[in-house]
Structure 1
Amino acid sequence: MIFSFSATADFDFMTYFARHIGATVSNNMLVIPEYLGEGHIRKIDLSAEFKITIHRYILKEDLVIKRNTSGQKNDLITAFFYSNEQPLGITYNDAPDISFSQRDDSAVQVTSNDINSTIRFPARYSIHYMVVAITPSYLKQLLAFDRLNSTLQTITGSGNSFLYFERMTTETGVLLKHLSTIDLQESLSHFYMHIKVQELLYLIFQKLSLRESTTHQHINNADAARLLHIRNEIVSDLSVPPVLSELAQLGAMSETKLKQLFKQTFGTTIYNYYQQARMEEAAFLLKQGNRSVAEVGYELGFSNLSHFSRLFERHYGLNPKKYSYS
């Protein structure tokens, strides 16, 4: 099933999605029809400029959500929080799907509404995510801080195009699950929800505020698609370090532009991103319990197991052997 829409500030996702699947909305909740699956979508308007949509369902067929640019200047910020319990595909500008799975916590994205995106959710998996839509002016008012770093200045500014990814922390994941269980019929639930969603935004914007303060590089749909393709190439074989010249050629951009846009979007350098993904894969494999430390190290391209152990301990605070038994 494909659902396509244009991301304007006044667009009501739930109302139009209900029409698309032949369902009804009652008390700001859409119950998924039995023929399609089970679960629900809830919408909470915290103000005219601050809205959230919570998705919790299991579908009998793949769901593809295509968000098209509004054709207007950027007038809305979208923060997308995915619980990362199951794999999903994210792509930009109709490029091939990029998978984010349990091994990769890059499941929070913050984007302007002038960037096309497509998200593919697989059938028969538990889907749990939240979308926060907020205007730049309202976010700036909430942040209530004059000396914002360049990333937050870009996000809260007027007419900027941007795309940022952050890893979802345990704290963010727990809060996300809690928000989905709040009883909206309770008398003070709206007030409580407003506070907790602001806490959610604090967690992501606090991390974004720690990014290096540099001049924002303009990003368009083609750039976004290339960056996700390059990211996929980096993690496709973690036994081989990325080669900048080859990635730049793959993305049809200069090495300088690639380094700038990649760090701006993912918050770290290409090589650091590769090493982080390498350590996450190592942790995942070690927890499976069917490979030795040496086998995991060699599989991930380490010829020196002492170096592998030191690097792993730097990331996780335990050496690989202790981690596998923890």
Structure 2
Amino acid sequence: ELYTAKGIEGRNYFRIKLLELFYHIKQLRIEDQYEATYYAKEQIEIIKRIRQQLIENLDKKISIEELLRKEPMSKVTFQAIFKQIYGDTPYAHIKKYKMNLAAVYLQETDQSITQIAGELGYSNISKFARAFQEVFGMLPKDYRKAKK
């Protein structure tokens, strides 16, 4: 923005942008200040491929170990790279993905909560409700009522 504004915008515009920049620098967390580790393209592709397999099989319980058998990567390496890319552990990421998908279903469909839970791999409705509440702070039935 600053480069394209040069010669077009006045001095006050750049003062505001500098204040904005200082604000964002102040908001940086300590862990964000460390240099990120860079991984090989092949490693990133493995992570993305396994994540996609997990997403395509939300209704099944597939272990990371099972998916990694075909890949030249250890579980520890997988988890470290996954967390750096997606900001969460694989299971936490998939859980949040499932709950966000459940929220969409609750808002946009008339499927029962039991049907939604089943589609997302939960055979126990109370475990589904607990997981949903951990992510959204309310039960699925209350979420549906609030969003309708």
TM-score, normalised with respect to structure 1 = 0.38
How many residues end up aligned between the 2 structures?
141
2:18 equivalent to 1:194: yes
Q: 1:209 to 1:298 in 2, by over 3 A?
A: same
Q: Which amino acid aligns with 2:15?
A: F
Q: Secondary structure at the match of 2:92?
A: helix
Q: Write out aligned runs for 1:128-207 (5 A).
A: 185=9, 187-200=11-24, 205-206=28-29
Which residue of structure 1 lines up, in the alignment, with residue 59 of structure 2?
239
Higher-Rg member (1/2) = 2
Alpha-carbon RMSD = 2.8
Q: How big is the shift at 1:286?
A: 0.7
Which residue of structure 2 lines up, in the alignment, with residue 209 of structure 1?
31
Greater relative contact order, per chain length (Cα 8 Å cut-off, separation 6+): 2
Distance 1:202 1:233 in 2: 39
Q: How big is the shift at 1:262?
A: 1.6
Q: Secondary structure at the match of 2:54?
A: helix
Q: How big is the shift at 1:199?
A: 4.1
Q: How big is the shift at 1:288?
A: 0.7
Q: Which amino acid aligns with 1:44?
A: L
Contact (CA 8 Å) 2:44, 2:81: kept in 1 or not?
Answer: no
Q: How big is the shift at 1:191?
A: 2.1
Q: How big is the shift at 1:217?
A: 5.6
2:78 equivalent to 1:258: yes
Which residue of structure 1 lines up, in the alignment, with residue 141 of structure 2?
321
Contact (CA 8 Å) 1:287, 1:324: kept in 2 or not?
Answer: yes
Q: Which amino acid aligns with 2:74?
A: S
Q: 1:251 to 1:266 in 2, by over 3 A?
A: farther
TM-score, normalised with respect to structure 2 = 0.77
| 2:41 paired residue among 198, 212, 221 | 221
Q: How big is the shift at 1:187?
A: 5.0
Which residue of structure 2 lines up, in the alignment, with residue 293 of structure 1?
113
Q: Which amino acid aligns with 2:31?
A: S
Q: 1:242 to 1:291 in 2, by over 3 A?
A: same
Q: 1:185 to 1:226 in 2, by over 3 A?
A: same
Which structure shows the bigger proportion of residues in helix conformation?
2
Which residue of structure 1 lines up, in the alignment, with residue 131 of structure 2?
311
| Percent of aligned positions that are identical | 23
What CA deviation, in whole Å up to 9, does each residue of 1:136-175 have, x standing for no partner? xxxxxxxxxxxxxxxxxxxxxxxxxxxxxxxxxxxxxxxx
Which consecutive segments of 4 or more residues in structure 1 shift more than 6 A?
none
Q: How big is the shift at 1:296?
A: 0.9
Q: Secondary structure at the match of 1:268?
A: coil
Q: How big is the shift at 1:318?
A: 0.9
Gaps of 5+ in 1: 1-42, 46-52, 54-183
Which structure shows the bigger proportion of residues in strand conformation?
1
What CA deviation, in whole Å up to 9, does each residue of 1:247-289 have, x standing for no partner? 2234431223212222233232211111111111111111113
Which residue of structure 1 lines up, in the alignment, with residue 50 of structure 2?
230
2:69 equivalent to 1:249: yes
Gaps of 5+ in 2: none
| 2:2 paired residue among 28, 38, 44 | 44
Distance 2:145 2:53 in 1: 31
